[in-house]
Structure formats: C-alpha cells, structure tokens
Amino acid sequence: MNRATQFIIGLIAIVLALGAGFYGRNLYLKEVSTTQVPVPINPIPVYTILTADMFQLREMPRTMESLPYYQSVQELDGKISTIPLLAGLPIPQANAVPMTQFRLAEASFEVLSIPVEPVSAVGGQIRIGDRVNLYQVLPEKSDPAGGAIPSSSDQPGFKVELIAGSVLVVDVRNAQGVMAETSQKSEDNSALGGSPQTEQVQILTLAVSPESVQVILNAIASSQKQGGLLWTTLALP
C-alpha cells in the first residue's frame, strides 16, 4: 500500500469520525434541549415572602438559562414578590427580590401607614393592591375659617372633603401589626374544610405622593383630637 492510498484512507477515517461526532452531538442536544425552572404552583399575591413549597419545576427550552429568570427553587426561597406571580410561569428576577432590596412603593412615593376602623374602612376588608379614597369628615364648628359650612339634609352640620384619591394600598395589617388574612385565603381555607378566619384590617399602608402626606396626617390628628372622622372607601376602578 503506497502513501497515497494510506493518505486517502486516513482522510476518509477522519471524515467519518467527524460525521459520527456531529451526529452524536445533535442527538445529545436533542435529548437535553430543555431545562427545568421553578414556577408557582398557585398564583402568588404581591408582597408575599416566598418559600420553596410554593414552587414546582417545569420543563422549559434550554434558552431560558441565558435569560434573566430564576433557575432554581433555592434562589427564590426567602425573597419577596414585587408583583402578583402567575401560576405555571417562570419568574423574572425583577419580580422577586431580596428583602434588603425591597421597598413597598416606587421611589417617587412616600410609604405611609394609617390607623383605620373597620366600620369606616369597607368593613376592614381592604386588600393589597386596592385603590382607596380618603375622606375627612369634620363638624361644622371645626371649620378653620370660622364661616358657616353648607350641609345637606342627610348630613347636617358636617363637612365632607376628599383629601386623597385613588391611593394604592401596599400593605394591610391587623391591630397587632400582623398581616391581615385576605378574603381569598379564607375562601381557600373554607374549601379545604377549615373555618374562615378573615381578619379585619386596622392598619393601612399606602403609597402616597409627598404633597399628600401632610394633609393625611393632619386629618388623622384631627380625627383623634378634634372629633373629626377619617373615612376610607374603595376608589372607582
């Protein structure tokens, strides 16, 4: 066998080896073209501290590994959701952040907590994400200008004034400062055979524009010291 024949045989062997390697690579990529990423088992409300048992793994295209999504349940454990998380969908890293980076509202808003009474705050059933209107109710004698206040037939002698409109609720607590359980959670408990345990909201935390903070605080002081009332309603959608 001369050198030319040996060279041709060697070249054919190299081509065959490369072809087999390429085929094997394609077969391997076909088998592992997906990856598992964590997704919520059920919808998760905004501002929820995440735990591992809220998630399951789901097959997704392997390209997810190069995108800014959480890749493991361990990465999500202990973080807090910044928007409602939908069941079955991967979690963008911007939608669940460490507690140290968490702020209840955008930087252009002040975060303000106010005390409310259930009877004057939609029965204490306000939820995170609702928008509310705040009204101040003052006796006629509380008019700082000292003038007479026109009154309607159903509310004689009182002045009702809208002091803040369509304010976003970012947190709700009971009188002990513990997060109040929403009506939805109570319905879930009831469906599982438990008794409803809805707690009435008595502390509202709001995202308020800086110019409205003093007005709201003045209304709270008036309601506690001068006999006025602070009334909370759900804003129109």
What CATH number is given to the structural domain containing 74? 3.90.1210.10
Residue 106, pLDDT > 80, answer: yes
Question: pTM of whole model > 0.85?
Answer: no
- pLDDT, greater one: 155 or 109: 109
SS (H, E, C) the chain: CCHHHHHHHHHHHHHHHHHHHHHHHHHHHHHCCEEEEEEECCCECCCCECCHHHEEEEEEEHHHHHCCECCCHHHHCCCEECCCECCCCCCEHHHEECHHHCCCCCCCCEEEEEECCHHHEHHHCCCCCCEEEEEEEEEHHHCCCCCCCCCCCCCCCEEEEEEEEEEEEEEEECCCCCECCCHHHHHHHHHCCCCCCCCCCCEEEEEECHHHHHHHHHHHHHHHHCCCEEEEEECCC
Note whether 131 and 224 are same-domain residues.
yes
Note whether 182 and 207 are same-domain residues.
yes
pLDDT (tens digit per residue) in 29-87: 655 688 899 999 999 988 788 999 999 999 998 888 889 999 999 999 999 998 889 99
Residue 89, pLDDT > 80, answer: yes
By the 8 A CB rule, do 120 and 221 touch? no
Note whether 212 and 136 are same-domain residues.
yes
Tell me how far apart the alpha carbons of residues 234 and 219 are, in angstroms, rounded to a whole number: 18
pLDDT (tens digit per residue) in 179-225: 776 544 444 444 445 544 556 788 999 999 999 999 999 988 888 77
pLDDT of residue 72: 95
177: left (phi over 0), alpha (psi -120 to 50) or beta: left
CA 70, 74, 75: angle at the middle one, nearest 5?
35
| 26 inside domain | no
Note whether 145 and 53 are same-domain residues.
no
Instruction: Write down the residue that tokens 């066998």 correspond to.
Output: 1
* Domain final position from 101, 131, 160: 101
Number of domains the chain contains: 2
Q: How confident is the model at residue 93 (pLDDT cuts 50, 70, 90)?
A: very high
Tell me how far apart the alpha carbons of residues 32 and 26 are, in angstroms, rounded to a whole number: 10
- Pick from 37, 38, 34: which is nearest to 62 by CA? 34
| 147 inside domain | yes
pLDDT of residue 158: 81
pLDDT (tens digit per residue) in 129-146: 899 999 998 877 644 555
- Pick from 220, 224, 236: which is nearest to 133 by CA? 236
Residue 2, pLDDT > 90, answer: no
pLDDT (tens digit per residue) in 141-179: 644 555 554 545 554 578 889 999 999 999 898 888 777
Average pLDDT on 17-39 reads: 75
pLDDT of residue 189: 46
| 122 inside domain | yes
Find the domain containing 148 and state its range: 110-234
